[in-house]
Amino acid sequence: MDFIDYYKLLEINKSASQADIKKAYRKLARKYHPDLNPNDKEAQARFQQINEAHEVLSDPEKRKKYDEYGKDWQHADQFEAARKQQAASGGFSGGFGEGSQSRSYSGNFDDDTFSDFFEQMFGGRARAEGAHRGAHFKGQDFNAELQLRLSQIYKSEKHTLTVNGKNIRLSIPAGVENGQTIKIKGHGGPGVQGGPRGDLFLSFNILNDTSFRREKEHLYSTEEIDLSTAVLGGEIAINTFNGKVKLKVKPGTQNDSRIKLKGKGFPKYKKEGQFGDLYITYKVKVPERLTDRQKELFQELKKTGI
């Protein structure tokens, strides 16, 4: 895999502040968002790269490692551990201390470049020991975002996601949350020296395309009823997420009163067959235009003290 310069990708320099990084990310994410570039595979790939760059550079610790180790910043801890081990055993000469020359390596390591890396940093002994001890490193983790509508996650469905130019078919569980991130094991970058593949961290951006308000597994909506139904009671048809149901309104129902329909809410994440509740708030509609006869009737009711 070719090395991708995250700074160049976000069109910023290495001295950029966190605010600069955030501003650049938002600008480019809007420009290359899949919704604005349908069927444009190049834009989709660029969008994924932008998310990946932001994930690293927006985190001070990850950014520090990236500045020193480039694309292989995720192996920084292992490299440092190997360096310390070699120094402690007397097999390391030179280093990153005062008077030494620091080297920064970019791009992913294949077998040859991995060996060269250890040989140049830690000497021939490190190279030999690293090979014999099986210095296997996990591949790079990928980060991606999937935008879905609320109506799309009422049931578990399969979706195709393009990551690093490859299409991945995934089954998305019903009830995922907006902003939630799940780990998909083994869908990241290839391992180093025969190590396991990295993982894919998938974040969800859920757009509400319904009239319901969602709070986790519970749904909320308002239902307008006429004055006579509120006073005398009656039966109305209301919308739930999966169809209409008939509902009895009690006589004397007050404006802004709330009822609960158990089990008519949203699916609970990874709890098959379990649902939250639907909360309905009644809004009593007061008539604005009355006939003379209706006005007379209200006057008569008023005299009775109602």
The total domain count for the chain is 3
Band of residue 145 on the pLDDT scale cut at 50, 70, 90: confident
Average pLDDT, the chain: 79
Q: Compute the distance between CA of residue 227 and CA of residue 208 in angstroms, rounded to an integer.
A: 31
Pairing of strands 258-261, 243-249: unpaired
The model carries a pTM of 0.54
Residues 192 and 280 grouped into a single domain: no
Does the structure show a pLDDT above 70 at 66?
A: yes
Asked whether residue 260 carries a pLDDT value surpassing 90, the answer given is yes
Are residues 201 and 217 both part of a single domain?
no
Pick from 132, 153, 181: which residue ends a domain? 132
HSE value, Cβ hemisphere, 13 Å, CA-based, for 19 = 0
Q: Kindly state whether residues 30 and 119 are assigned to the same domain.
A: yes
| Helix, strand or coil, per DSSP, at residue 227 | helix
Among residues 132, 155, 184, which one ends one of the domains? 132
Q: Is 221 helix (H, G, I), strand (E, B) or coil?
A: strand
Helix (H) or strand (E) holding 53, with range, is helix 41-57
* Pair 147, 162 in one domain: yes
CATH assignment at residue 288:
2.60.260.20
- The mean pLDDT value for 279-305 works out to 86
The backbone torsions φ and ψ at residue 282, rounded to the nearest 5 degrees and listed phi first, read -85, 135
Task: Evaluate whether 198 touches 141 at the Cβ level (below 8 Å).
Answer: yes
Q: Which of 282, 130, 243 is nearest to 192 (CA)?
A: 130
Structural domain harbouring 107: 6-132
- Per-residue pLDDT, averaged over 251-269, amounts to 93
| Same domain (yes/no): 219, 203 | no
- Long-range Cβ contacts of 184-187 (<8 Å, 24+ apart): 187/142, 187/163
Q: Over the stretch 90-135, which tens digit does the pLDDT of each residue have? A: 444 333 333 333 333 333 434 444 444 444 444 444 444 444 455 5
**Nearest-angstrom CA–CA distance, 246 and 239:** 9
